[in-house]
Amino acid sequence: MEEHHPDGLPISINLSAIDFNNTSFIDNTLAIITSYDIDPSLIEIELTETVFSENLLKINEVISKFKSHHIKIAIDDFGTGYSSFSYLQDLNIDSLKIDKSFISNIYTKPKSLAIVKSIIYMGSNLGLSVIAEGIENTFELKQLVQSGCHMGQGYLFTKPVNEKQIIEYIEAKNKNSL
């Protein structure tokens, strides 16, 4: 279920609707990526569904700007906001991140599991990566793997870590791979 990047660690950046509509924020983000010589293919911009209630033409322009720099686009917390299938066919996105509220209920609510399976099926058929958020136990992981989910994140793998812990983790991985 985990995607491996041999040349670097993928980085996700959550953009709010305010950030998404702020041209200088977008330009500054692109400038930072360039100035630090970060491989843009390792960057994924996460947009919540609330962004998609705006002007579709403007949204496509911003997404195209990121995509022209080889930056991936994900819809975060999929299924909890302005869910419209039209933007799945009209926007150049790379992945769907299933909201943790669906994942945490797959054991107790059969409808949640049905929704999760449907999102995975739909995303896969659209050529999108599907990522499950908030995986906390092996039952959830097993259900997601059996359903064909591509990737996952959550406390089952690790709790949120600070910058120092990330650097230590990367250094240990690099040391062990030599």
Which pLDDT tens digit goes with each residue over 24-59?
988 998 999 889 888 999 999 998 877 877 678 888
pLDDT value at residue 2? 47
Of residues 58 and 156, more confidence is placed in: 156
pTM over 0.85: no
Q: What are the C-alpha distances in Å from 82 to residues 17, 46, 98, 105?
A: 13, 15, 14, 21
Angle in degrees, CA 31, 32, 38, rounded to 5? 110
Provide the mean pLDDT of the chain: 87
Q: What is the pLDDT of residues 128-150, one digit of tens each?
A: 999 999 999 999 999 999 999 99
**89 near 95, Cβ under 8 Å?**
no
CA dihedral sign of residues 134, 136, 140, 145: positive
Homologous superfamily assigned to 11-177 = EAL domain (3.20.20.450)
Q: Where are the domains of the chain?
A: 11-177
Give percent of the chain with pLDDT exceeding 70.
Answer: 91
Of residues 161 and 24, more confidence is placed in: 24
